[in-house]
Amino acid sequence: MAGPLCSLALGREKLIMRLGSACIGRASRGVQTVLWRSCSQYKQVATNEDLPVTMENPYKEPNQKCILCGKPVDYKNVQLLSQFVSPFTGCIYGRHITGLCGKKQKEITKAIKRAQIMGFMPVTYKDPAYLKDPKICNIKY
């Protein structure tokens, strides 16, 4: 009942379990082969059905491009600059919130500071005239 083990000679000889009249083994690099016996001859049938399918991560968020790249930032454009300021505290939002690249974030920060010093923007809160403006970034307050 415990007959001899079948062997498959592809590169290195591998040992295979014997299951009834069929032998199942691994031929090379994860491809499963099934050997069927018919009239003392073996036929190889490769099956890839049980192997995992490679696919991209479905939960990966798409890369977001900076919305201000290629556009000039001016300290007199208070409506644009107020989008990057908290309406309650007057603090400037960081890069992780605004989604800007480092270069544009630095330009926005300098322009906001310059507008506050010159009196175009309030320092401690956001101007109420701009509270109902459409949101440029996905900022949740």
Instruction: Decide if domain 64-141 falls under CATH 1.20.1090.10.
Output: no
Beta-carbon contacts of residue 64 (< 8 Å; ≥ 6 apart): 99
- CA distance linking residue 98 with residue 92, whole number of Å: 10
Domain boundaries defined on the chain: 6-47, 64-141
Other C-beta atoms closer than 10 Å to the C-beta of 42 total: 14
pLDDT in tens, 36-89: 555 555 555 566 677 788 888 989 888 888 889 989 999 999 989 988 988 888
* pTM for this predicted structure: 0.52
- CA distance linking residue 108 with residue 63, whole number of Å: 21
pLDDT in tens, 87-105: 888 899 999 888 899 999 9
Residue in this structure with the two tokens 């001859």, named with its chain if needed: 41
- CA distance linking residue 122 with residue 89, whole number of Å: 11
- CA distance linking residue 74 with residue 92, whole number of Å: 16
Beta bridge partners of 16: 6
